[in-house]
């Protein structure tokens, strides 16, 4: 399980490595352009009920920590879908129990996180 550390908080957001690799690319692209947006996730079924939303902006520290030592292979279709979602007024959102947001087996070795 990968961890996204946001701001000064000591408690990370836990995500599957492959999902965080895709989210990292989308966040980096948005922040490189100076664009802020919301990131929302529904808590997994084995955690406290509810959802969390954070405001992602260039001045807030982010750290991506992956459990695996090798970069994840990226799914271009998933990257496009997440980027489109991040550009919407609702921001980037996913359900940690929803396999639809997990990268598919159709991957590309040319693009790695």
Q: How does pLDDT run across 43-69, given as a tens digit for each residue?
A: 877 777 888 999 999 999 999 999 999
Structural domain boundaries in the chain: 2-112
- Residue 89 is predicted with a pLDDT of 93
The rounded mean pLDDT for the chain is 85
Question: Do the beta carbons of residue 29 and residue 83 sit within 8 Å?
Answer: yes
Instruction: Provide the whole-model pTM.
Output: 0.81
Q: How does pLDDT run across 90-112, given as a tens digit for each residue?
A: 999 988 777 444 544 434 444 44
- Residue 82 is predicted with a pLDDT of 94
């Amino acid at each position: 399980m990968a961890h996204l550390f946001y701001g000064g908080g000591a408690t990370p957001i836990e995500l599957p490595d492959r999902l965080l690799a895709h989210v990292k690319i989308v966040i980096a692209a948005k922040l490189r352009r100076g664009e802020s947006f919301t990131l929302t996730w529904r808590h997994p079924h084995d955690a406290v009920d509810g959802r969390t939303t954070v405001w992602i902006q260039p001045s807030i520290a982010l750290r991506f920590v992956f459990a695996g030592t090798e970069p994840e292979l990226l799914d271009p279709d998933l990257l496009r879908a997440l980027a489109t979602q991040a550009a919407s007024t609702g921001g980037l959102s996913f359900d940690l129990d929803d396999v639809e947001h997990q990268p598919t087996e159709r991957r590309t070795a040319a693009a790695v996180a």
